[in-house]
Amino acid sequence: MERFLWMLAVGAYAVLVLEAVAGANPWPAIVTGAAYTALVVLGAWLLPGRGPVWLVAYMLLQIGLGFVMFSAAHASWGGTLLLIVLVVQAAQLLPLRGAAVVALVVPLGHVGMDLGEGVREIAGMLVASLMALVVTRLLRREQQTRVELALANAQLEELATTQERNRVARDIHDGLGHYLTTLQMQIRAGRALLDRDPDRADEVLAQAEEQAREALSEVRRSVSALRAPRVPLSERVERLAREASQSGPPTSVEVRGASRRLAPDVEEALYRAAQEGLTNVRRHAHAAHAHVLLDYRPAEVRVVVGDDGCGQPPDRSGGSGGSGGFGLTGLRERVTGLGGAVALDSVPGKGSTLTVTAPA
């Protein structure tokens, strides 16, 4: 905006000089016009950010000098344009009321003319001043809006980056973190049994090896999810069921309703719920069969993981300890944060059912 103002001021002064040299005595208009233009340029450079005293003093000085210049230029077009430039500068530097006062005062440079001609010139310059004020304020508002929009976009990008970083950290903690914790415990138990019970130690270490393979698979799944396009939730659950069937009881999948794309955080929560449920079935249920239901409803989506295993006593039904790759506590935190719900129903000798509902 400052460069635009300088260009207007220099252009208006050039018009004033061209008009002045065509007259008999051009120097008063040229000199006063040069001083006025120089103050416009200096004001555009020095005044932004100054207090109201500086701004009011500058405007009073420029209005007085402008009237002298306008009179010396014999109310020429160049002098009129330079006064309009002051209105533009006032619209940039002053609040709207102050800029409006300048726009109303500037046309008074025509005072002293014949009544009829003076009224016409004042009316015409008043309209021009108000138009310059409105256009400049609109340009200033548009510039401020663009700055605010750029700032808002930067904040949104930062928020999205933070949310993605938190999501990845949570996934590492809930998935890989569990496997590594369990692996550490199994290795420690194996070392403790190595001298007393080598066969039992070998069994524990074999379980640790299985945990290590699962941890590696978890890393590969996470990297694949980051690199590849989003896979529909139903396909991810079916693939999870196939993997669970290879190292646990046969697992079937049922999809009800029309499969549709969900918000990424909702899909991830439902997928992790299925993963948690099937992990617990494989490790603790001693089940002959497991079943996953993916139920697409109009306003919500449910994942239900059930088995026909041993179940668990009522005092353990409220949580899954650290057994799952997710943990029931972490699962509840994630799902309730989305406005959903988690329920675990377990009957000793008849199996368990994990139900997770999320808004869609």
Look at residue 177 in the predicted model and tell me its pLDDT: 67
Look at residue 15 in the predicted model and tell me its pLDDT: 94
Q: Residue 171's closest CA among 271, 248, 238, 260?
A: 271
Q: Residue 85's closest CA among 43, 25, 24?
A: 43
Look at residue 29 in the predicted model and tell me its pLDDT: 93
Bridge-partner residues for 256, per DSSP?
Answer: 295
Six token digits for residue 150: 């750029």
pLDDT in tens, the chain (360 residues): 667 788 889 999 999 999 999 888 999 999 999 999 999 999 988 998 889 999 999 999 999 999 999 999 988 899 999 999 999 999 999 999 999 999 999 999 888 667 777 788 889 999 999 999 999 999 889 988 988 888 888 888 788 777 777 767 666 666 676 667 777 877 888 888 888 888 888 888 888 887 787 777 777 766 665 555 668 899 999 988 988 887 789 999 999 999 888 888 899 899 989 988 998 888 888 899 999 999 999 999 999 999 999 987 544 444 443 344 447 788 888 899 899 999 999 888 889 999 999 998
- pTM, rounded to two decimals: 0.48
Look at residue 313 in the predicted model and tell me its pLDDT: 55
Bridge-partner residues for 341, per DSSP?
Answer: 357
Look at residue 204 in the predicted model and tell me its pLDDT: 80
Q: Residue 85's closest CA among 66, 112, 108, 71?
A: 66
Q: Please, where are the H alpha helices in the chain? A: 2-20, 27-46, 52-72, 77-93, 96-105, 115-171, 177-193, 198-227, 233-247, 264-280, 328-337
- Angle at the Cα of 92 (from 90 to 97), degrees rounded to 5? 55
